[in-house]
Amino acid sequence: MEFYRKLQEFKSFNLQSYLDSIAPHHIEAILAKDNVTELDFPALLSDAALEYLEPMAQRAATITRKQFGNVIFLFTPLYISNYCENTCRYCSFACTHNIERRHLSPREIREEAQKIGDTGMRHILLLTGESSKKATLEYITDAVALCRDYFSSIGIEIYPLTEEGYGRCVAEGVDSLTIYQEVYDETIYHELHRGGPKDNYRFRLEAPDRACRQNVHSLTIGALLGLHDFRKEAFALALHLRHIQNTWPATEVSVSLPRIRPLVQDFALPDPVSDKRFVQLLTAFRIAFPSVGITISTRESKEFRNNILPLGVTRMSAGVSTAVGGHSQAPSTTQFEIADSRSLEEMKRDLLRAGFQPVTYDWNSRLLINS
Amino acid sequence: MNDDLIIAGKPIRSRLITGSGKYRDDRIIKEVLEAAECDIITIALRRIDLDRPDDSILNHIPEGKILLPNTSGARNADEAVRIARLARAAGCGDWIKIEVINDQKYLLPDNQETLKATEELVKDGFVVLPYMSPELATARRLVDAGAAAVMPFGAPIGTNKGLRTLDLIEILVEEISIPVIVDAGIGRPSHAAQAMELGVDAILLNTAIASSKDPVAMAQAFKMAIRAGRYAYLAGPGAQSHNARPSSPMTGFLRDE
């Protein structure tokens, strides 16, 4: 079934009263079993579960070590264009803001790629704003082709494409797609994204299915934490994950849990997520989805990232600049505030010190395409 | 007594094969391999940087070992074949462990695609060791296709659950003429010993060593358990029975007439 329809089916489900009904013995039973069900996951997000944060953390750490070992995969994002036609109220790249717009030329993309490649990083994530007129599909596939000279694995985090568009990206060497629904609640989604191409909720929601149909090797999905009640959003995200796992079992799936840090002055975060609640969310995902990768962004501070490392994290960004051209040129407007500005070298050193192996090479798109 | 394991005509002294993933630090791999005394090391080609092979995990693998690259990341036969050929081109030799997985949740192998890849790679001159679901019909087809061994799982990868597929593996041991290597699921030395006692030819394991608090000591423990299991198999264990059998039988007074 299409995911949009599946999500509709849960509209009548009263999550709040379900969460209120969870008692300590429910949590104990969930923590004692091997297979966590669709409704066990939100139970782990209940207030009752907060009392079990330590056993949840212990369980999450054990699962992570067994499933992934002591390994953290690293990647670096590369912003190539910040032209945008959207009006996302929390984003400093929205077209309503009068900021310096930049668009890297092929030569500039090479310079940035070279600079990042020189650090030893082999996984790159290309990012653009949503402007199919400026950052056209061709512009993006050209950027991918350029990046193949510097990186073994290329991901994209761009506006949602048609199935054909994803097919062209995969053929050019893209092996992973990152796309956040931003907010799963459809009403709030429309409130936050009025006008602009992003207004099409369903087109974005079903983008991962279109990419998987085109054989993308790995996929990261997520919701921006802070825009709406995190339990409701996490529940929808978990349903999405399960849908992907059931429909596309061969795809390597990760989930990303970004607590957003807007740089937009007149936007107050509606539902901020505390550190404690964040740990609850992270460990609940790990317990419910043992095989799924979990990405933590540089929006979290260095100290906090170090502390949550053993609790389920498998992927992190390092050496990050969220400005277009930020690796080789004078910085322009950044998309969001980075709380962890460690270089790749510093990150590797800190990970080793904490007992983790930093991995900057885990995939080569050449393993799958004819190049 | 010479009890070498023979794979593709090559004598192998050690019946423990281990991997190289999941470690805190790649530098420990060398110590683990020394403690395990294994002759064959498996390694995921996806972890060997094809453009910079000198800068990879290969640096931590001692000379003189047989490298067994695996096709981790392959979702079908075509991808497995492609990865195997890239492994050979990257200087990893002709041995290949086929791993075709199209379910990321359970990481169980796809026997049908595995068989297809085996057929193709054998024709291409590879020594093929396919990772498989323990199932007799496929195992026989893999033998016919020219596989050098079959590698059934004991339990899903990384679960450390032991020999959950025991009965099926016993059937393979009885029926299959090429080496049967249990690959995946072995979590404790006792699991490994149990498999070896049954007549399994070798054990491939990684997580149980890599995720242990002391991987070097755990490698030694596995080495010894696998030897113990092998000796017991060769010695021929006594039959088991549900009831006790008295060592002074009740009919001992009867004399041959």
Helix, strand and coil in chain B, % to nearest 5: 40, 15, 45
Whole-prediction pTM:
0.87
Interchain CB distance below 8 Å, A366 and B50: yes
Question: How far is Cα A59 from Cα A44, in angstroms, rounded to an integer?
Answer: 12
Largest CA distance in chain B: 83
Cross-chain Cβ contact A356/B104 below 8 Å: no
pLDDT score of B220 = 94
Please judge whether A69 and B211 are an interchain contact, meaning their C-beta atoms are less than 8 angstroms apart. yes
Cβ distance of B79 and A217 shorter than 8 Å: no
Closest residue on chain B to A290 (Cα):
B105
Contact residues for B242 (Cβ-Cβ < 8 A; gap 6+)? none
Q: Judge whether B97 counts as a catalytic residue.
A: yes
Question: Could A70 and B47 be called an inter-chain contact, meaning their C-beta atoms sit closer than 8 Å?
Answer: no
The DSSP 8-state label assigned to residue B47 in this structure reads G
What pLDDT band is residue B224 in, cutting at 50, 70 and 90? very high
pLDDT digits (tens, 9 = 90+) for A288-322: 999 999 999 888 888 898 899 999 999 998 887 77
Give the per-residue SS3 of B166-217.
HHHHHHHHHHCCCCEEEECCCCCHHHHHHHHHCCCCEEEECHHHHCCCCHHH
Ranges of residues in chain A whose predicted pLDDT is under 70: 264, 330-333, 335-338, 369-371
Tell me what the pLDDT averaged over chain A comes to. 90
Question: Nearest-CA residue of chain B relative to A67?
Answer: B158
- A315 in helix, strand or coil? strand
Between B78 and A82, the more confident residue is B78
Ramachandran region of residue B17, left (φ > 0), alpha (ψ -120 to 50) or beta? beta
pLDDT of residue A98: 81
Show residues of chain B in contact with A152, CB under 8 Å. 49-51
Given B46, B51, B207, which is nearest A66 (Cβ)? Answer: B207
Terminal-to-terminal C-alpha distance of chain A: 35
Record: contact B104-A367, CB cut-off 8 A? no
pLDDT band at B47 (very low <50, low <70, confident <90, very high): confident
Residue from the list A152, A253, A352 with its beta carbon closest to the beta carbon of B104: A253
Which residues of chain A make contact with B159, given a CB cutoff of 8 A? 66
Q: Would you call B104 and A65 a contact, using CB atoms and an 8 Å cutoff? A: no
Confidence of residue B44 (pLDDT cuts 50, 70, 90): confident
Q: What is the average pLDDT value for chain B, to the nearest integer?
A: 89
Measured CB to CB, residues of chain A less than 8 Å from chain B are 65-71, 122, 152, 217, 245, 249-253, 291, 352, 355-357, 359, 361-364, 366-368
Three-state secondary-structure class, residue A223: strand
A233 neighbors A255 (Cβ within 8 angstroms): no
Over residues B125-142, mean pLDDT:
97
The DSSP bridge pattern shows strands B10-12 and A123-128 to be: unpaired
Which residues does chain A have within 8 Å of residue B210's beta carbon, measured at their own beta carbons? 69-70
Q: Give chain B positions within 8 Å (CB) of A71.
A: 21-23
Count of alpha carbons within 13 angstroms of residue A324, beta-carbon side: 20
Residue A353 backbone dihedrals phi, psi, to 5 degrees: -65, -35
What pLDDT is stored for residue A371 in this prediction?
A: 41
Chain B residues inside the 8 Å CB shell of A74: none
- For residue A70, the chain B residue with the least C-alpha distance is B24
Kind plus residue range of the DSSP H or E element containing B189: helix B189-197
Which of the residues B30, B65, B97, B161 is marked catalytic? B97
